[in-house]
Structure 1
Amino acid sequence: MTSDSMRLASYDRYGPADVLHEVTGPLPRVRPGEVLIRVRALSVNGGELAMRAGRLRPFSGNRFPKQVGLDVVGDVVDPGASRFAVGDLVWGIGGMPLSTAAEYAAIRPDRLGLVPDGLDAVQAAALPAGTTAITALRDKAALAPGERLLVRGATGGVGYVAVQLGKAMGAHVTGLASAPNLDLVRELGADEAIDYRHPGELGQFDVILDTVGTDLAAFRRLLAPDGRMVAISFDLDHPVRSLGYIAANSVRRTRWARFFSGDPKTPLFAELGRWVSAGAIRPQVDRVFPLSDIAGAHRALERGGVRGKVVIEI
């Protein structure tokens, strides 16, 4: 490897996790208005698995090789004209095309924030997806103190933050997860931890945060008269039906269901940092993999039952 090259994760065809490999490639081209970051850690996100498997071809196309990596934690190497300084530890979202599973990444400064004191890079890498939980509960659902919140996938990358955030916002939180993970749901602060395979009678909820994407109609029926469902995932096996259902119910004034995909900017990362610094949200790392085992990291998330975030340390 030369001074103008770096290690990165790449694949040259769609397929299972084994198509992923660590390779050597050129350093990212830093465009005007971007910040160059020496990447220290990142997490694996569900959308990346679907893209790598070829299940999102209308969005990803058929040009190869492709890289992976959406979020990022690292040290600023070249701040450009941004407000950041060399050596700042920052976190953020890289956007499309995916490229942050690499030694270096070039990111727009408005997609970055300073990592709060007290977090190391691996811990911080478990949290950028928490911006999705903030947007879903605060902005989209307008969760209020005393309301009943149901989180599907309560120990997943977004769900585990949503459980903590819901409690901090004063809600009564019910978390659905697999039986082996119910202990973690309780540790995160949920008032109720329920096995999603045997939920029994769940009752009604003011807000449902859906991170799973299936059976949306059944869960929407659990909404109270003024209830709101926010979905951050859709059924990849039936995408037209899934998104069509959400679209049809998004225009309702009551008991609505809406889908959104996060696009966090610096103020949202600053807010996430404040929740973390206040002790309301803590990171939850499931497992840590090196970049050389990027395939193993993807397999770990695909197996399901994760307890927080699968992190790659570089």
Structure 2
Amino acid sequence: MKAAQITGYGDAPAVLRINDVDRPAPGPGEVLVAVEASSVNGLDTIVRAGGLRIVTGRRFPIGVGLDFAGVVAAAGADVRDHRVGDRVWGTVPPLKRRAVGPAAEYVLVGADRIGPVPAGISSAEAASLVVAGTTALTALRDTLRFTSGERLLVRGAAGGVGTAAVQLAHAMGGHVTALARGRHAEALRALGADEVFDYGVTAPDGIGPFDVILDTVGSGLHGYRRRLTRNGRMATIALSASSVAAIAVSTVHGARRIRTLSSDPDAAVLRALAGHVASGGLRPVVDSVYPLADIAAAHQAFERGGVVGKQVVTVSGT
């Protein structure tokens, strides 16, 4: 089978290759999924650039991708909930080193890490929602405990997690303020944002206050944390040297500290996400679609930014 692999750390065109690898067979508790689409996520580009080499090491090749949508091609003998031919979506463990990831013709995954694709969306659309949607849902529902009537700021609102968070918070009955590039204002209002501010011209002290802040950027966190109400909560999904330092310093503020989270969804979270899609509260936002052979271009587009939604890589089907 064909699989995208990292052959060394560096820029996408230099180190991403489509290689021929052996097609795996599922063992107990595993399913083999014929991948139809995968998406590009921040962790993918960080791993490829060597930002997590302390975890991923220096043995190559390294598999590419976190999420996928496709069709069950084979199942282990003890798998009961999934049958060959089922349309499914899911993820692989985010920090487990592997030679083949979801950016491949087939991916091997635990049966507890997949769920049925919601009806009415394509595999490319489904792939765009898996990591982005579950991250936004986990952040709002579990980490920040966002409730109806609260005022939310989504920083980096035009990205994959941001567009999902805007929609979910709107569906939950919140007042949503989006911070993004000014040219994305119309698209974000269409997704449910009540207000949109251009981060290039609006300073933190020019907006707010907010009950909840969800950050996807990672810089300038202290300035935004000061915009919280007395019982406000803030979380970031962007980890860097500066954001880790800001998170550590913020612990002195107790409940108003800056929290962090990552998404590693199980089948229950995927079911919850599918429910939001089925109810109309969440829809896919796909910026661009690339064939597997052009995955390096998809990585470059992600790193350039300035888009609304996700970059998706199609492997087979749609």
Superposed CA deviations along residues 73-107 of structure 1, whole A, max 9, x for unmatched, are 11001122221111111001112235111000011
Q: Aligned to 2:118, which of 113, 116, 119? A: 116
Distance 2:235 2:24 in 1: 36
1:93 paired residue number: 91
SS at match of 1:113: strand
1:308 equivalent to 2:303? Answer: no
Runs of 5+ consecutive residues of structure 1 not aligned to the other structure: 1-5
Q: Within 1, Cα distance between the matches of 2:197 and 2:262? A: 26
Q: Which residue of 1 aligns with 2:42?
A: 46
Aligned counterpart, 1:151: 154
Give the conservation status (yes or no) of the 8 Å contact 2:26–2:74. Answer: no
Matched, 1:72 2:59: no
Amino acid at match of 1:257: I
Q: Pick the aligned partner of 1:181 from 184, 194, 197.
A: 184
- Write out aligned runs for 1:227-266 (5 A): 227-235=232-240, 239=241, 241-250=242-251, 252-266=253-267
Paired residues of 1:150 and 1:205 also in contact (CA < 8 A)? yes
Mapped contact 2:37–2:70 kept (Cα < 8 A): yes
Q: Are the aligned partners of 2:151 and 2:211 in contact in 1 as well (CA < 8 Å)?
A: yes
Percent identity (aligned): 48
Deviation at 1:230, TM superposition (A): 1.0
Report the alpha carbon displacement of residue 251 of structure 1 after superposing the two structures with TM: 6.5
Distance in 2, Cα, partners of 1:182 & 1:29: 47
Structure 2, unpaired ranges of 5+:
none
Look up the match of 2:168: 165
Asked if structure 2 preserves the Cα contact closer than 8 Å seen for 1:285 and 1:308, the reply is: yes
**Separation of aligned partners in 1, 2:111 and 2:53:** 29
Aligned partners of 2:252, 2:74: CA distance in 1, in Å? 45
8 Å CA contact 2:10, 2:49 repeated in 1: yes
In 2, distance between residues paired with 1:120 and 1:101? 17
Structure 2 length-normalised TM = 0.93
CA distance in 2, matches of 1:221, 1:252: 10
Q: Is the 8 A contact 2:87 2:116 kept in 1?
A: yes
Structure 1's consecutive aligned runs of 4 or more residues displaced over 4 angstroms after TM superposition are: none
Candidates 15, 26, 30, aligned match of 1:30:
26
Give the RMSD, CA atoms, in angstroms: 1.3
For the residues of structure 2 that align with 1:29 and 1:249, how far apart are their CA atoms?
Answer: 47
Deviations 1:101-142 (A, max 9, x none): 100001111111100111111111111020111110011111
Cα distance between partner residues in 2 of 1:12 and 1:218: 40
Contact preservation (8 Å) 2:7, 2:17: no
